Amino acid sequence: MTSVSPFGVAFCGYALFGALLLTGQTPQARSITEGVYSAAQAARGQQLYKTQCAECHGNALEGTVGSPLAGDSFLSDWSARPLINLVDKIQKTMPFNLPANLTRPQSTDLVAYILQAGKFPAGQAELSEAMLARIAFPAAKPSAAPARAGLGNTSLPPPEGNLAELMRAIAFPNSNILFNLQIKDPGAQPKKQTTPATFDYAEWGSTVYPGWLAVDQAAIAITETAPLLLTPGRRCQNGKPVPVDAADWKQFVAALADAGKLAHQASKARNHAAFIDISDKLNDACANCHKVYRDKGGTEGSGATRCQP
Ligand code: HEC
Ligand code: HEC
């Protein structure tokens, strides 16, 4: 069975998230320990933080839904990287649920506040755009564990399958159950069905969990596959590591989880009409990531360039 979404091509022109600047390219003239922002600027940043960030990153920047923005794991994430990367990250990807709505000066003010909250001293001058590439986080001590936000400090078992296998196991069959709603009404399915003559796991399964139950389950599977796409240590078919630390990868994964959650809500409400829009969103979530990480350099099967940004 293949995807039934009619939206595949039409929605592919979507602008992709800008790549973060490579680190280590710029001469790092100063450190954030040298009073690189002003107190007034941090106060402006704090106002924005309270209204737009605290709900996910915590009042003390300790991290809740979002990663911590202070403390050891944050500092080791940003070890030796220039501030321009952090401003870019914020401006292009935050707030997570409404990205790319902050101005450049607002994003810079937020960084000033993050520095202040991290106990880096204020100075006289404001942090300016011109300086951003030249001011860096201190290099984390080699002893510091390479902790990553979220999954890094939990002890997950190592992955069983490569990424393609995982996609075929979860994303593919379950998204097809959801895409199918564009042409079939699960409410119209008879409660009891007879087992089809030829064995077909989707058809047979639908006699056990008919109609909307199958849709509920598929929506949960799509949502729950997202953290598996962030499991450290997984490789792609071509041996390259899954780019779990890349900012755009995380965002593509989050978009997939969002589509799964929407599908689950609509499924619980038995709202068939909502699935036109949801199929579209789900299809985008698959296609946007595939365009960058799977299908670059020619056909889907071209292999070697997969999983590299
Ligand atoms: C709806 C929840 C949400 C809101 C609101 C939100 N964030 Fe985030 N943020 C996240 C999540 C989830 C991540 C981890 C995924 C990622 O890095 O993209 C994250 C990651 C980050 C990171 C990267 C941290 C690291 O160590 O890599 C920064 C910086 C950040 N957010 C800043 C902000 C700022 C500043 C705001 C307010 C303008 C904000 N966020 C609002 C959810 C949120
Ligand atoms: C975060 C990025 C991302 C998202 C989201 C994503 N994929 Fe993938 N997908 C990939 C990458 C990268 C590969 C290539 C994996 C490899 O070669 O090991 C892949 C491979 C696949 C394959 C296997 C192709 C083959 O080589 O046989 C299928 C099927 C697939 N994806 C379906 C889906 C569907 C359906 C969705 C949406 C419900 C989806 N994917 C969402 C990144 C993603």
Q: What band does 19 get if pLDDT is binned at 50, 70 and 90? A: very low
> What length is written for the chain?
309
Q: Average model confidence (pLDDT) for the chain?
A: 83
Using most ligand atoms within 8 A of CB, pick from 284, 294, 299 the residue to mutate for ligand 2: 294
Q: In this predicted structure, what is the pLDDT of residue 202?
A: 72
Domains of the chain and any CATH numbers? 30-151 (1.10.760.10), 156-302 (1.20.120)
Note the pLDDT tens digit of each residue in 70-104.
988 789 889 889 999 999 999 988 998 888 899 99
**Rounded Cα distance, 139 and 148, in Å:** 16
Query: Can you tell me whether residue 30 is helix, strand or coil?
Result: strand
Nearest CA to ligand 2 atom 31: 167
Task: State which ligand 1 atom lies nearest to the alpha carbon of 150.
Answer: 14
pLDDT, tens digit, for every residue of 247-273? 999 999 999 999 999 999 999 999 999
- Residue 151 contacts residue 80 (beta carbons within 8 Å): no
Whether ligand 1 lies within 6 angstroms of the CB of 272 is answered as no
% pLDDT > 70, the chain? 81
Ligand 1 and 231: CB distance under 6 A: no
Bridge partners (DSSP) of residue 82 are 136
pLDDT digit string, tens, across residues 144-201: 344 444 444 456 678 888 899 999 999 999 999 999 988 888 888 665 556 666 777 7
The CB of 285 under 6 Å from ligand 2? The reply is yes
Give me Rg for the CA atoms of the chain: 23
pLDDT at 10: 31
**Residues in Cβ contact with 275 at an 8 Å cutoff, skipping those fewer than 6 apart:** 178, 181, 182, 263, 266
Q: Indicate which residue's Cα is closest to atom 15 of ligand 1.
A: 250
Q: Kindly state if the Cβ of 225 falls inside 6 Å of ligand 2.
A: no
How far is it, in rounded angstroms, from Cα 210 to Cα 189? Answer: 7
